[in-house]
């Protein structure tokens, strides 16, 4: 899988390196698997952040935890608010935060990159997208959909 990706520039670790890393860790979350380290830059930034937080907590590295907490993206904050609302049983609020997280994800040119690590001109403008969606909803109510009446 990794070797097929154009964005992957590197070599895979030898099987013995993977085996030794797994034997050393013995289920310890503080040590990252060599394959995880290769995959980490290629996954969604919010998932990557959760993995880094879990690893830093296991190591007891509070400097990294503070830094990760300080540089949360708006999308990550919306996802965390969704989880909090869902845990508290506030379904309407959870739905609102989930939609907001999805919306913020659609603005990003590449959700695998950290916010600010590339030119923001590649992202969609929030004001434009919100306006476009309002106009689209208004027109859908007025004119319906092309699929209306098709069963």
pLDDT value of position 92: 94
pTM: 0.66
Task: Write the DSSP assignment of 42-68 as a string of letters.
Answer: GS-HHHHHHHHHHHHHHHT-HHHHHHH
Q: Residue 128's pLDDT is what? A: 92
- Give dist(CA 72, CA 55) in Å, integer: 17
**pLDDT at 91 (0 to 100):** 93
Rounded distance between C-alpha atoms, residue 92 and residue 96, angstroms: 6
Burial of 30-69, coded b for 16+ CB within 10 Å and e otherwise, reads ebbebeeebeeeeeebbebbbebeebbeeeeeeeeeeebe
pLDDT given for residue 147 in this prediction? 63
pLDDT of residue 80: 92
Residue that the structure tokens 């959909």 belong to: 145
Per-residue pLDDT tens over the stretch 53-95 = 888 888 888 999 998 888 888 899 999 999 999 999 999 999 9
Mapping DSSP to helix (H, G, I), strand (E, B) and coil, where does residue 40 land? helix
- Statement: residue 6 has pLDDT above 60: yes
CA-nearest of 39, 10, 41 to 110 is 41
pLDDT digits (tens, 9 = 90+) for 90-109: 999 999 999 999 999 888 88
What is the predicted pLDDT for the residue at 44? Answer: 83
């Amino acid at each position: 899988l990794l070797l097929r990706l154009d964005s992957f520039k590197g070599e895979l670790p030898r099987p013995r390196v993977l085996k030794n890393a797994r034997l050393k860790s013995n289920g310890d979350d503080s040590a990252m698997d060599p394959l995880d380290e290769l995959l980490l830059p290629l996954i969604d930034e919010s998932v990557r952040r959760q993995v880094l937080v879990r690893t830093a907590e296991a190591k007891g590295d509070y400097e990294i935890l503070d830094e990760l907490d300080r540089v949360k993206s708006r999308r990550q904050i919306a996802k965390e608010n969704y989880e909090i609302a869902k845990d508290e049983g506030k379904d309407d609020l959870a739905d609102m935060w989930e939609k907001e997280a999805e919306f913020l994800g659609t603005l990003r040119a590449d959700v695998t990159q950290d916010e600010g690590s590339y030119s923001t001109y590649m992202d969609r403008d929030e004001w434009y997208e919100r306006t476009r969606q309002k106009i689209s909803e208004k027109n859908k109510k007025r004119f319906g959909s092309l699929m209306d009446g098709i069963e």
